[in-house]
């Protein structure tokens, strides 16, 4: 890693103003659309959705964010050294393993950024070194900070290659003295040669080892490794649309596929007869089960399994669902999953996607097998980046 740039606080962008003057715009590569005004970004994303999805039906106007700044409630920083031996932390330069040093970022939560800068200073103070991927020496690989938008709870996760952490107690004391807002601090052990940030094992140093947050009036427990939407303001908008599309009356059996920590399913549970959530990540399923209890949703249960496999079995056993919510990762759904949806024959499918390209591909299959797209609603969950989220309603013909 050589020649790092230190990111200075850029001038705040205006809604509708062009760019935000971030000095790391090109190097970091995180804000692909920063050269556009926010209104231009929305038009660009709308055009992308129209291009990919308008053959299925009318694409409603994208819902933008009123204040598209500091929305990222989860911040991850890689740690490293410059050639001169200075400790840096930040993001990997696009398509490389070179760290671009970030002090504060216009997309990221400001508290999270401040915690990361403090940890960088503490490393120096305690004479601890960042991990070096090439030599396998050194201590700190990454730091992940998550802040509950409504709850204000803050979690810091320090990722190290082994369970050792010299001067751990004093380090923690100094960190908490600087950031009394931290409600939990966790050490995560990741010794693998991998681009994944977190390893399997976590050791709680302080607090509960997770945070809670509130979305759409429900409370959620979020563990270090669980997926949780990164823009809570727009998530409420997105889920609001998804619930409206589902048209629940209290009588329905609902399937929440790719459910994460159960956010969509538990929002739906209030308006449905019963909810079954299915998710591959065991930590997320554990959180989902706890979240069902936290929200007194006796009518919701959660299963740890591959969504396609689970639903194929359910269809074979003759089970039915009235509504299926599906929210797959960027790669979209696989064929076994899509076939199982057709076999379960729900009246409505609410398909939430962070990648309209794979969504379009999956819609083709569902439309060939008896479904019709009734609603297409893009939502801007990731301002200044090229990503766009889209929720579609399909009804059985
Ligand atoms: N609906 C949730 C999570 C969506 S992210 C929310 O809105 O917060 C996609 C989720 O799909 C992740 O939690 C991931 O762990 C899960 N996942 C990925 N592949 C899966 C599969 N084959 N079967 C079930 N879940 C899967």
Q: State how many domains the chain has.
A: 2
Contact between 333 and 308 under an 8 Å Cβ cutoff? The reply is yes
Residues 260 and 349 reside in one and the same domain: yes
354 catalytically annotated? yes
Is 66 contained in some domain? Answer: no
Residues 287 and 191 reside in one and the same domain: no
Residues 163 and 258 reside in one and the same domain: no
pLDDT of residue 27: 83
Q: Supply the CATH number for residue 287's domain.
A: 3.40.50.150
**Which of 198, 286, 329, 334 for a ligand 1 pocket mutation test, highest count of atoms within 8 Å of Cβ?**
329
Q: What is the model's pTM?
A: 0.90
Residues 248 and 388 reside in one and the same domain: yes
Residues 198 and 239 reside in one and the same domain: no
Is 358 contained in some domain? Answer: yes
Query: For residues 114 and 95, what is the distance between their CA atoms, to the nearest angstrom?
Result: 26
Residues 206 and 253 reside in one and the same domain: no
Distance 164 CA to ligand 1 centre (A): 32
Residues 185 and 309 reside in one and the same domain: no
Q: Name the residue at shortest CA distance from atom 6 of ligand 1.
A: 260
User: Domain boundary residue among 215, 246, 280?
Assistant: 215
Query: For residues 359 and 364, what is the distance between their CA atoms, to the nearest angstrom?
Result: 9
Pocket of ligand 1 contains residue 73 by CB under 6 Å? no
User: Domain boundary residue among 186, 215, 244?
Assistant: 215
Residues 155 and 242 reside in one and the same domain: no
Residues 113 and 251 reside in one and the same domain: no
SS3 for the chain is CCCCCECCCCCCCCCCCECCCCCCHHHHCCCCCCCCEHHHHHHHHHHHHHHHHCCCCCECCCECCCCCCCCECEEEEEEEECCCCCEEEEEECCCCCCEEECCCCCCECHHHHHHHHHHHHHHHHCCCCECCCCCCCCCECEEEEEECCCCCCEEEEEEECCCCCCCHHHHHHHHHHHCCCEEEEEEEECCCCCCCCCCCEEEEEECCCCEEEEECCEEEEECCCCCCCCCHHHHHHHHHHHHHHHCCCCCCEEEEECCCCCHHHHHHHCCCCEEEEEECCHHHHHHHHHHHHHCCCCCEEEEECCHHHHHHHHHHCCCCCCEEEECCCCCCCCHHHHHHHHHHCCCEEEEEECCHHHHHHHHHHHHHCCEEEEEEEEECCCCCCCCCEEEEEEEEC
pLDDT of residue 25: 82
pLDDT of residue 150: 94
Distance 351 CA to ligand 1 centre (A): 13
Query: For residues 120 and 104, what is the distance between their CA atoms, to the nearest angstrom?
Result: 13
Kindly report, residue by residue over 208-221, the tens digit of the pLDDT: 999 999 999 999 99
Is 179 contained in some domain? Answer: yes
**Which segments in the chain show pLDDT lower than 50?**
1-19
Is 65 contained in some domain? Answer: no
- Domain hosting residue 103, numbered range: 74-215
Contact between 186 and 204 under an 8 Å Cβ cutoff? The reply is yes
Is 254 contained in some domain? Answer: yes
Q: How many CB atoms lie within 10 A of CB 25?
A: 17
Atom of ligand 1 nearest to the CA of 235: 7
Q: What are phi and psi of 378, to 5 degrees?
A: -75, 145
Kindly report, residue by residue over 170-199, the tens digit of the pLDDT: 999 999 999 999 999 999 999 998 889 999
Pocket of ligand 1 contains residue 280 by CB under 6 Å? yes
Look-up of token digits 């660009």: 44
Distance 328 CA to ligand 1 centre (A): 5
Query: For residues 3 and 129, what is the distance between their CA atoms, to the nearest angstrom?
Result: 18
Q: Supply the CATH number for residue 124's domain.
A: 2.40.50.1070
Is 100 contained in some domain? Answer: yes
Beta bridge partners of 378: 390
Residues 211 and 244 reside in one and the same domain: no
pLDDT of residue 96: 80
pLDDT of residue 95: 76
Please name the residues in contact with 365: beta carbons below 8 A apart, sequence gap of 6 or more: 335, 338
Pocket of ligand 1 contains residue 38 by CB under 6 Å? no
Is 2 contained in some domain? Answer: no
**Which of 215, 239, 258 for a ligand 1 pocket mutation test, highest count of atoms within 8 Å of Cβ?**
258
User: Domain boundary residue among 215, 239, 270?
Assistant: 215
Pocket of ligand 1 contains residue 60 by CB under 6 Å? no
pLDDT of residue 133: 85
Is 46 contained in some domain? Answer: no
Q: Name the residue at shortest CA distance from atom 16 of ligand 1.
A: 258
Residues 257 and 208 reside in one and the same domain: no
Burial class (CB in 10 A: 0-12, 13-18, 19+), 106: buried
Distance 225 CA to ligand 1 centre (A): 12
Pocket of ligand 1 contains residue 346 by CB under 6 Å? no
Residues 243 and 385 reside in one and the same domain: yes
């Amino acid at each position: 890693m050589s020649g790092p740039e230190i990111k200075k606080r850029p001038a705040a962008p205006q809604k509708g103003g062009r760019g935000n003057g971030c000095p790391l715009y090109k190097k970091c590569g995180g804000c692909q659309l920063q050269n556009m005004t926010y209104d231009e970004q929305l038009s660009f994303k709308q055009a992308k959705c129209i291009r990919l999805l308008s053959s299925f039906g009318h694409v409603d106007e994208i819902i933008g964010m009123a204040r598209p700044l500091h929305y990222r409630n989860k911040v991850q920083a890689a740690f490293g050294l410059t050639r001169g031996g200075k400790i840096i932390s930040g993001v990997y330069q696009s398509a490389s393993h070179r760290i671009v040093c970030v002090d504060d970022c216009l997309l990221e939560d400001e508290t999270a950024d401040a915690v990361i800068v403090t940890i960088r200073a503490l490393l120096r103070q305690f004479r601890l070194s960042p991990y070096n991927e090439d030599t396998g020496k050194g201590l700190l690989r990454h730091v992940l900070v998550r802040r509950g938008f409504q709850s204000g709870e803050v979690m810091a996760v320090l990722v190290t290659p082994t369970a050792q952490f010299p001067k751990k107690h004093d380090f923690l004391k100094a960190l908490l003295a600087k950031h009394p807002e931290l409600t939990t601090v966790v050490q995560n052990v990741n010794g693998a040669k991998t681009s994944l940030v977190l390893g399997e094992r976590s050791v709680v140093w302080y607090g509960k080892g997770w945070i809670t947050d509130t979305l759409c009036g429900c409370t959620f427990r979020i563990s270090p490794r669980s997926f949780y939407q990164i823009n809570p303001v727009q998530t409420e908008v997105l889920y609001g649309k998804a619930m409206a599309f589902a048209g629940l009356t209290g009588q329905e059996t609902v399937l929440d596929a790719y459910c994460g920590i159960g956010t969509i399913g538990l929002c739906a549970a209030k308006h449905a007869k019963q909810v079954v959530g299915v998710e591959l990540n065991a930590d997320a399923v554990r959180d989902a089960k706890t979240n069902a209890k936290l929200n007194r949703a006796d009518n919701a249960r959660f299963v740890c399994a591959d969504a396609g496999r689970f639903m194929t079995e359910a269809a074979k056993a003759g089970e039915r669902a009235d509504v299926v919510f599906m929210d797959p990762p960027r790669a979209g759904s696989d064929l076994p999953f899509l076939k199982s949806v057709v076999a379960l024959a729900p009246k409505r499918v609410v398909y939430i996607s962070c990648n309209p390209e794979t969504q379009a591909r999956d819609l083709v299959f569902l439309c060939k097998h008896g479904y019709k797209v009734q609603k297409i609603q893009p939502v801007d969950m990731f301002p200044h980046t090229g990503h766009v989220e889209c929720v579609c309603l399909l009804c059985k013909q």
